[in-house]
Amino acid sequence: MAALRTSWDAIGPGQPVRLAKKTSNLFRPRSPAAGPGLDVSGLDGVIAIDPVARTADVQGMCTYERLVDETLAHGLIPSVVPQLRTITLGGAVTGLGIESTSLRLGLPHEAVLEMDVLTGSGEIVTATPDNEHAELFAAFPNSYGSLGYAVRLRIELQPAPRQVRLRHVRFAGAADVTKALAEIADAGSWDGVPVDAVDGTAFSPDEIYLTLAHFTDTDLPTSDYTGQDVYYRSIQQRHEDVLTIHDYLWRWDTDWFWCSGAFGAQNPAVRRVWPRRWRRSDVYHRLVALDGKVGVSRVLDRIKHIPARERVIQDIEVPLDRLEDFLTWFDREVGMRPVWLCPLRTRRAWPTYPLTPGDVYVNVGFWGTVVVPAGSEPGAVNRKVETEVHRLGGHKSLYSEAFYDRETFGALYDTAGLDRVRSTYDPDSRLKTLYDKVVRNS
């Protein structure tokens, strides 16, 4: 905390404040830092775990990988663990996170009991749902640092099962998936077996799987998807599976869902010589950043006579009853497969990401590039995604590129409410607004 305070003082009065952070899970450009940033390198640990109260006090830059290692030693896990190891607690709360337990337990910020926030005024305040900083607490999720930075969070924990039994259930289309998710949301089970977690993988319009997870304390033989086998391929190959809880939490990280294939990491010959310690999402993320600087993929595209590509890396949420509409539109206008499906329900209203509490939404995640004509308007495909999601009554996560005009963005993400909170906690406007951060990339 002393290093944080020292770096704050070094920025100087009236100067813009931003994090001095070397790594990121964001997929949008950011303007270069104009001066020193906040040194948060010392805020990456677990402060304390209370196994009786089932809570953890965690610093804001602590990764879920580190947190899970410590909570599992007490037989506990966070209620929602985002899929990628290096996502931080503070990042998942201020930027939203989601996982297969989100239908049952909500989003990561809904497990937060209290948090210490470094505000734009340089103060550290403790915000809870019902104290004098309750408005800051409510507005913080999805604020992406525009209201301050979480330096400590107290979160709820859940009992950790020993194993997770999986059923990969195939459906013939989005309409059948919609009906099944409605039944699971209502009953909490499928075919008489409890569903503790659920997500889906849509390989094509008529080949969609829901992976239904049941948490157990059995001692059955388990699969390993950190070696030669690739997890997402097993969904099509196996009706049932068993993983340790540790491997279930990180099942998507080893191959960055399916995106590791772009680097050859799913080729058996390459995989045998690719060290396991490098089969992880943060390594692939760095490779993408390196390619952006070196331009190997652009050279290959020229050789293949590909006119241009647009990066389409997005997660969106639509109401459950509009899932089929979105996927039909998506196949026609974007055409990227597989896509990830994750149902969710929020426990309460959150003004900066206003989903109706108790209603079921489905997150659709799609990550890759699409071929576009030479000279296309920048972000043309992403703009169409935004328009369609808005039309269907959904919202888009803001970790990637966004193209909204200011008025539409303000209506979707309650920037008027954010401005009101900012006037209290950042009266000199030292933090960038949400629109400036995620649309203008400043």
| For the chain, domain boundaries | 2-160+415-438, 295-403
DSSP structure class, residue 365: E
**% of residues, the chain, pLDDT over 90:** 84
**Which helix H or strand E contains 159, and what residues bound it?**
strand 149-159
How far, in Å, CA of 97 to CA of 353, rounded?
12
39 has a pLDDT exceeding 90 = no
Do the strands 189-190 and 193-194 form a parallel or antiparallel pair, or are they unpaired?
A: antiparallel
How far, in Å, CA of 253 to CA of 259, rounded?
10
| 60-119 residue pLDDT tens | 999 999 999 999 999 999 999 999 999 999 999 999 999 999 999 999 999 999 999 999
pLDDT of residue 34: 58
In terms of phi and psi (left: phi > 0; alpha: psi -120 to 50; beta: otherwise), the region of 254 is alpha
**% of residues, the chain, pLDDT over 70:** 98
| 242-268 residue pLDDT tens | 999 999 999 999 999 999 999 999 999
Contact yes or no for 281/253 (Cβ under 8 A) = yes
17 phi and psi, to 5 degrees? -115, 135
Question: Measuring CA to CA, which residue among 414, 423, 430 is closest to residue 138?
Answer: 414
Average pLDDT value for residue range 297-302: 84
Average pLDDT value for residue range 168-194: 98
Class of domain 2-160+415-438: alpha beta
Long-range contacts of 40-43 (CB under 8 A, 24+ apart): 40/4, 40/149, 40/151, 41/3, 42/1, 42/3, 42/4, 43/1, 43/4, 43/151
State the amino acid at position 83 in one-letter form. Answer: Q
Half-sphere exposure of 63 (CA within 13 A, CB side): 15
Q: Which two tokens stand for residue 334?
A: 């974007």
Confidence of residue 294 (pLDDT cuts 50, 70, 90): confident
Contact yes or no for 57/89 (Cβ under 8 A) = no
DSSP 108-155: GGGGEEEEEEE-TTS-EEEE-TTSTTHHHHHH-TT-TTSS-EEEEEEE
Confidence of residue 396 (pLDDT cuts 50, 70, 90): very high
* Separation of first and last alpha carbons in the chain: 27
Question: Measuring CA to CA, which residue among 151, 115, 120, 149 is closest to residue 134?
Answer: 115
User: E strands of 172-252, at which residues?
Assistant: 189-190, 193-194, 197-204, 207-216, 240-244
How far, in Å, CA of 365 to CA of 227, rounded?
25
Confidence of residue 292 (pLDDT cuts 50, 70, 90): confident
Q: Which two tokens stand for residue 381?
A: 């495909």
| 335-369 residue pLDDT tens | 999 999 999 999 999 999 989 999 999 999 999 99
How far, in Å, CA of 398 to CA of 317, rounded?
12
Q: Which two tokens stand for residue 63?
A: 């990764």
* Cβ contacts of 243 within 8 Å, gap of 6 or more: 163, 164, 166, 222, 223, 225, 251
Average pLDDT value for residue range 122-135: 97
DSSP structure class, residue 43: -
378 has a pLDDT exceeding 80 = yes
In terms of phi and psi (left: phi > 0; alpha: psi -120 to 50; beta: otherwise), the region of 122 is left
pLDDT of residue 31: 64
Q: What Cα–Cα distance (Å) separates residue 28 from each residue in 81, 160, 413, 442?
A: 23, 35, 18, 11
Tell me which of 39 and 222 has the higher pLDDT.
222
How far, in Å, CA of 214 to CA of 167, rounded?
9
22 has a pLDDT exceeding 70 = no
Q: Which two tokens stand for residue 382?
A: 């992403």
Class of domain 295-403: alpha beta
How far, in Å, CA of 64 to CA of 70, rounded?
10
Contact yes or no for 71/56 (Cβ under 8 A) = yes
**Which helix H or strand E contains 105, and what residues bound it?**
helix 102-105
